[in-house]
Structure 1
Amino acid sequence: MKILLIHQNFPGQFLHLAPALAARGHEVLALTDKNNSRTAPVPVMRYDHKAQVVDPGQCRLGRNYTQMSDRGVTVARACLRWREDKGYIPDVIFGHSGWGETLFLKEVWPEAKLLVYAEFYYKGRGADVGFDPEFSPRTFDQVLIAQGRTAHLGQSLLHADAGLSPTEWQASTYPPALRRNIEVIFDGVETDRLKPDPTAAVTLPNGRVIRAGDEVLTFVNRNLEPYRGYHTFMRALPDVMAARPEAQVVIVGGDDVSYGQPPKEGKWKEIFLSEVRDRLDMSRVHFMGKVPYPTFVSLMQVSRAHAYLTYPFVLSWSMMESMGAGALVVGSDTAPVREVIRHGENGLLVDFFDVAAWSRTLTEALAHPERFTALRQAARQTVLDRYDLKSVCLPRTVDWVESFGPK
């Protein structure tokens, strides 16, 4: 059958699904933004979206919907031309709903089945908004803003035939009337690549080589920011490093903002580093910036303790991958993490805001690695049993997509 995958930053979540569907004999095409330069595993068509400046004073709570629906209109018009000029009609469309690309596709191809990747539904209460009062005040206006941001997400799923979410908790953020139409399948972890390796080594920026078995504490995120607990981690570091004078701390992440608001001045990285710099041995703190994927894999294989924190928000692939590599994950005791990590069984959980508890737990993990061997093994087994790409997640996703094909 003909399958169209849509993502403004393709391949995104379709990295493994696209070639898997093609390998099964389906005609798979992708549609993405003209400015996306990422390598694609299947043939790609592009749309040219020129975002218009939106006046928040005029749009008010409709600002987000205006931006998303503008992109949706661009995509729909491009698809209509594609249909009229080339006669292209897909059997199944599967697109990420986050940027509005799928909003109007049923108007172009009413005969096609439309599936959406339903990653997260913004909530004014019970999720990220107001979770961290230091950066997100618990005000009624913030609740209204969050609700206003859901318009395109609700519309996308309402007009779709079905949705797919990567975790139960992320699916639960959708209202019950929409949640009923969502299947839960994680994207998958390549456990044949993400696995323990006693020979793993990583060269740090100063030339030092760290190896599996060394005393290494890791923290990894796309960007270093409050949503992913960078501030809590940095505030816990002085006591950890004082207690463990041989520990090397490796921090991976960029200086930009992926989620939430940017600081009024400067970068989050420097703001929180400056809080504690005078209490750290900076010769043992290694900021790597953004690293190639093979470096990340080796780092997880080297790590003695891996700190992962997140607001109640989208769960990071890196946490699941670190578990697959056999790392001891010390995670924040927040809903997305609790879905996967059971404290004392396959990892450790610490209150997101309890800096002293983070210091104690990380120190213990570094000091007594032998105590946590069973947790490391259980973490990998969790991923093998529930989140393995090739044996669990990819076959389930392929079956799900194919179930919407012509009968």
Structure 2
Amino acid sequence: MSSVPPPAAGLPDELRRRLGVPDAVTIGLGAMIGAGIFTALAPAARAAGSGLLLGLALAAAVAYCNATSSARLAALYPVSGGAYVYGHQRLGEFWGYLAGWAFVVGKTASCAAMALTVGTYLWPGQAHTVAVASVAALTAVNYTGVQKSSLLTRLIVALVLAVLAAVVVAALTSGGVDAARLDIGTDVTAGGVLQAAGLLFFAFAGYARIATLGEEVRDPARTIPRAIPIALGITLVVYTLVAVCVLLVMGPDGLAAAGAPLTDAARAAGADQLVPLVRVGAAAAALGSLLALILGVSRTVLAMARDHHLPHVLAAVHPTFKVPHRAELLVGAVVAVAAATTDVRGAIGFSSFGVLAYYAVANASAWTLTPGEGRPARIIPVTGLAGCLVLGFALPLPSVITGTAVLMVGAGVYGIRRVGARRS
């Protein structure tokens, strides 16, 4: 298989390579340590009960396989687009297109969910208005350059980690800690653990941002394979600490009934003074995720527009800021409309299905690598592919039906375009 080199220097569609390992890790953390940890624990506990930590471990295992496959591919193909590029090069044009379609549609829904999370925490009575304003503000930040986005993400990640650390300390030092709440009961089912893992995967999926920014990373063959596992490892440690501490003070039943899990955990730990800080942290986390998501979606739109799977006008790169400005404006507009009209719960399930489909293509692509191309151990892409399919179809039935229908629509659009191309 032939590799895809970055655009030649000096071409008008060239993106500027500015990001080193710390910047790439920060962008990955901003996407992963986001609103997912503030929202996904409760529905996962409802699905798995006392098997929540098993679901978290399973989600992390699948995420590790996906991250390893993505890192090897991103080092070989250091251009914008992620699995859209990998699928196109390794499996054929259709599979690359389908991965790009799943990513753009699924992550647009995720953008809307993150924006609504900001609104819900900051101003519940005007959640949709705040969501739209957040999208507009972050689109403007992205428009002025990816380096500024990285600096803002660094500040957000620092704030969120401080908030999560405060919750962990409050839980561990409270008098309501009960280690028996971590015991796995007889109510745990395989189906419940799988569904919890699928829901929790939503909170891990941000490492794709590093791969989709491959054309803006310095020395991508070295930077990307280092940044992705570092970001994923930090996220797993943080999530495990938070999940264990929340279970210690609330138990699986209390967590399942929680509307705002970390806020309720702070109250259960007797740290009511932390509640306002947790609310601010949740909003900041959602902003960090939204910032990184808009970056990733716009770069995939750029890659698809370059190949004429989307209107080629979206492939333009701003001559001063060196960003795909038209793609970013379109993505921002679509997300703003979705944030003004949709519901956060449905958006999360639909997004998880689309992202798992995206990574299924990435793992299948990694399986085709040769040893000379940096192929991972075969068990990794095989496990990642199987895990994506199993977790995807273990999600709540409405998410599975809607996600499958959207993928079929995408396949139909591709087929119509191909027939039109042959006739012309």
Structure exhibiting the larger radius of gyration computed from Cα positions: 1
Shared fold, TM over 0.5: no
Which structure is richer in relative contact order (CA contacts within 8 A, separation 6 or more)?
2
More helix by share: 2
Q: TM-score, normalised by structure 2?
A: 0.27
